[in-house]
Structure 1
């Protein structure tokens, strides 16, 4: 029996185009199970039901991932008849991230199509639904860094159960994995060495605090070189993030 987090990661990898053999080897899930998950994904009977204001069930792992994407590069905009558009902006140079954003939206709201809208240098992954504000009560007027952003109790419960997926969404949107370098004097000679580290940049102190909290849940050490920039550079922290984030390409 596999938990929901493994299933969510596997479905995101399938949506990104990874082969079943590769996913099976990486996650230890049989190809038969992966085919079954792929076949079941998106089946639904109620196109209007809301997991928050009706008796629907919210799939927690993909929601945690989508919440991270929303807090990073997502927004809601109101259209006619109280319909809202969820947009997640993705850089065109990372097609895997575009596919993962689409897969996360489909998993949370499988009853409606997801659109890809091309813009200058990026693709907006777009979905229409009246109930997107129910999913993201953080929605409000103006940029996110100019208003209070906090998680509701039910969101905190989901993130506490799936901090890896929230962090995957945050680092895939407003973060990166880079090669850093430093110098050290060894035997009287100055030597240069490289090491990987993760960076997360966001102008919202509240969103930065959510990222710090999620990292703390996993005992991943971090520091703040600047007020709007978080760094994970210690080897054990980078290795832990590599398990569920990794490079963007």
Structure 2
């Protein structure tokens, strides 16, 4: 006999794309049992508090600041997939090199949907933070078929209000997904002696013109100066290098952790 938490864990892992063999080995249960549980157990997160967007008079998501951060993560490294019986799962794929960001992602999901379970699956070099809910498409209407850079990404008015109210949370989510803080260096001859100078800068890299525009538009409202970099003639990177702007970014975003 297996407790309900083990059964739900097995069903959730299979729903995330894991094979029956790997789940069987990890949890020490038979593949036959896992298959039978799939038809008898409600997916994790199937029961939860109503979505604020589904009400007769829609309201903002729970914890708008956490939502702004999660929106940034979703636009960079997130996706939403249909499961069964009208349930969806949100997945955010994050580099194992930054455990603090993985923790922050899980905390944001729990803050936005406190009654839904969150789990992590470690794969080679990354962690997949996953949560089941009927309401992820309500909360992230940018969900749709195809890659994000191949379709329009436009915020709904209520999302724009949240981003305008919590702009740094949104920028931090974008940087934590598709950005970085690096240290560049150069040399200069001073009084006949060549000296090395180092200076930090932030990069944000995303193939979607719409997502880059959301990022740079938010930076404009925050007073952060930026420049667009190209790759093979196409806009690709956004750089923040001026000292005052880097200081602003350091105060509110900082290096990955």
Q: Tell me the alpha carbon deviations over residues 146-192 of structure 1, each in whole angstroms, 9 at most, x when there is no partner.
A: 11111111111110111100000000010011011123332344322
TM-score (norm 2): 0.77
**SS of residue in 2 equivalent to 1:150:** coil
Query: What is the CA distance between 1:129 and its match in structure 2?
Result: 0.6
**Other-structure match for 2:185:** 181
Residue 164 (structure 2) aligns with: 160
Q: What is the TM-score of this pair, normalised by structure 1?
A: 0.79
Residue of structure 2 in register with 1:244 after alignment: 252
Counterpart contact for 1:68–1:167, Cα < 8 Å: yes
Which of 115, 123, 130 in structure 2 is aligned with 1:126? 130
| TM-superposition CA deviations, 1:8-52 (whole Å, max 9, x none) | xxxxxxxxxxxxxxxxxxxxxxxxxxxxxxxxxxxxxx8230011
Tell me the equivalent position of 1:50.
51
Q: Post-superposition, which runs of at least 4 consecutive aligned residues in structure 1 deviate over 3 A?
A: none
Deviations 1:130-156 (A, max 9, x none): 110011111110111111111111111
Where structure 2 has 5 or more consecutive residues not aligned to the other structure, the ranges are: 1-46
Q: Distance in 2 between matches of 1:238 and 1:57?
A: 31
* Counterpart Cα distance in 2 of 1:185 and 1:211: 37
Describe how 1:133-172 pairs up with structure 2 within 5 A.
Answer: 133-172=137-176
Residue 212 of structure 2 corresponds to residue 205 of structure 1 = no
1:31 is matched with: none
Task: Give RMSD over aligned pairs.
Answer: 1.3
1:42-79 CA-partner distances (Å, limit 9, x unpaired): xxxx8230011126652211110000000010110111
Equivalent positions of 1:205-244 (< 5 A) are 205-226=209-230, 227-244=235-252
Q: Would you say the 8 A contact 2:60–2:158 is kept in 1?
A: no
Q: Return the index of the structure with the highest Cα Rg.
A: 2
The whole-number CA distance in structure 1 between the counterparts of 2:224 and 2:209 is 19
SS of residue in 1 equivalent to 2:158: helix
CA distance in structure 1 between the aligned counterparts of 2:214 and 2:184, rounded to whole angstroms: 25
Q: d(CA) in 2 for partners of 1:53 and 1:243?
A: 36
2:44 alignment partner in structure 1: none
In the alignment, the residues of structure 2 paired with residue 56 and residue 158 of structure 1 have an alpha-carbon distance, to the nearest angstrom, of: 11
Alpha-carbon contact 1:49-1:56 (below 8 Å) kept: no
Matched residues in 2 for 1:144 and 1:190: separation? Answer: 46
In 1: Cα distance, 2:209 partner to 2:188 partner = 34
Aligned mates of 1:89, 1:80 — CA distance in 2: 22
| Aligned pairs, number | 204
